[in-house]
Amino acid sequence: MAKGWLFSLLSLALVLGCGGQGAPTNPGVTRTESSGKQEAAPLPVPAHLAASTNDLGFRLLAHMSEEENVLLSPTSIASLLRMLAYGASGDTQKQMLAVLGDPKAGPTEQQNAIKTLTSLAHRLDPEKPEPDVSIANGLFLRTQFSPKDEYVNAMRKAAEAEIVTLDFSDPNSVKTINAWVNEHTRKMIPSILGAIRDSTVMIAINAVAFEGHWAAKFDPTQTVPRPFHLGDGQTVEVPMMHRTGQYAAAFLPQATIVEVPYAGGRYAMTLILPSEGTSPKRLLEAMTTEKLNQWLQQAVPKEIALALPKWTSTFERNLNNDLEALGAELAFDPDRAEFDGIAETTERLFVQTVLHKTFVAVDEKGTKAAAVTMGEDASSAPERYEVVFDRPFAYLIRETKSGVLLFAGWLNRP
């Protein structure tokens, strides 16, 4: 086997229940700021980009265990893979673009896709309340490693990436990278890296953080213990939030869907309660963007008495085997990987690890962003539907205009 130089790819994503100040990064490193300041309005997400991003997430979810609480960020994973695919060539790039659902994308299209996904962090209107979305990209380079200027400049421009050169042989490099992670995930994921291999030359990180209040908060005084029925037949008692109001909902043979909007209406949590005898994994592993859109088109405003558990969970997974199973095996092959668009080296470059880590916290408020209360007509008496999420269910966090998924997963045990 030929000796190779390794990339480590770290994808982090979280939905926060509370905010915090970022940790300072360590001094004594060579750092180049990104060109983007996340001040411009978000770019519109084309339908094909939203669909390819979402469908990648659904295909990956098919590889997850239904016994766990699972949460992936399709946006984070797709962003990171697109950054890498831009520097790939030959069959390696063909495989990666196929996995991304964008097999015909040329360099310009690839850059535009990265730029568009990154711009989801930009606010539509700074004066109006909406969730605070942060998308940060970092490229951490070994001091002896010299990537091509074209690649570095493209990542600065399209991904707003921060480029940091470190002495990977210095243990403080791990602390520097973890401090960056801690800062850009608002202290909710304090670290992701334990050590750096001698053969690693670049660590690419995409971090997505989402903080948003519900458009209409749950009253904490209405949160009471209620049973939650686990998939294995056991029952546990959990704090269950309650609120009655107007929500878009659909009652389908396969599932019940309730859309809970965040302040401003740009984002919503889509709750999907499978029909009896069906698990959330079975629903999502067979899901496509087209099918999801068909389901959502049937959701109409109804008076809903909603009961939803409070929960906090973390999820971490090495995605190497999952991505290889989807068809990207060459990227991980030290003898055949082609990444000469990133650097010209005497040693072949290949991907060592794709690590994905998420955090979610759901409570009555949502998060610290300003909230707007949804209007309700208290004088009318519409038909009321009770929807109780007291057994495993799926949930998505979507940008409502494009439908692109920031997060997708399921709650098996609060």
* 336-345 mean pLDDT: 89
Residue 262 has φ and ψ, to the nearest 5°, of -95, 165
What average pLDDT does the structure give for the chain? 84
Domains detected in the chain: 4-212+313-360 (3.30.497.10), 220-308+383-411 (2.30.39.10)
* 1-8 mean pLDDT: 42
* pLDDT at residue 17 tops 60: no
* pLDDT at residue 32 tops 80: no
Q: How far apart, in whole angstroms, are the C-alpha atoms of residue 387 and residue 241? A: 12
* 128-139 mean pLDDT: 82
What's the sign of the alpha-carbon dihedral 377, 378, 380, 386? positive
The pLDDT assigned to 382 comes to 52
The pLDDT assigned to 370 comes to 20
Residue 340 buriedness (CB in 10 A; 0-12 / 13-18 / 19+): middle
Most confident of 6-15, 30-39, 181-190, 270-279: 270-279
* 28-46 mean pLDDT: 61
Lowest-confidence region among 45-59, 166-180, 206-220, 364-378: 364-378
The pLDDT assigned to 185 comes to 80
Q: How far apart, in whole angstroms, are the C-alpha atoms of residue 4 and residue 335? A: 8
Q: What is the CA radius of gyration of the chain?
A: 22
pLDDT in tens, 213-269: 899 999 999 999 999 999 888 999 999 999 999 999 999 999 999 999 998 889 999
* 321-334 mean pLDDT: 94
Q: Tell me how crowded residue 371 is: count the other CB atoms within 10 A of its CB.
A: 19
Lowest-confidence region among 4-8, 306-310, 410-414: 4-8
* 3-26 mean pLDDT: 39
Q: How far apart, in whole angstroms, are the C-alpha atoms of residue 54 and residue 44? A: 16
% of the chain with per-residue pLDDT over 90: 58
The pLDDT assigned to 283 comes to 94
Q: How far apart, in whole angstroms, are the C-alpha atoms of residue 114 and residue 397? A: 20
Nearest to residue 272, comparing CAs of 407, 396, 399, 413?
A: 396
pLDDT in tens, 82-99: 999 999 999 999 999 999
pLDDT in tens, 260-313: 999 888 999 999 999 988 999 999 999 999 999 999 999 999 999 999 999 988
Q: Which residue has the higher pLDDT, 392 or 122?
A: 392
**Tokens encoding 275:** 């029909």
Entry pTM: 0.88
The pLDDT assigned to 377 comes to 27
The pLDDT assigned to 37 comes to 47
pLDDT in tens, 359-385: 888 888 753 222 111 112 233 345 789
* 386-404 mean pLDDT: 95
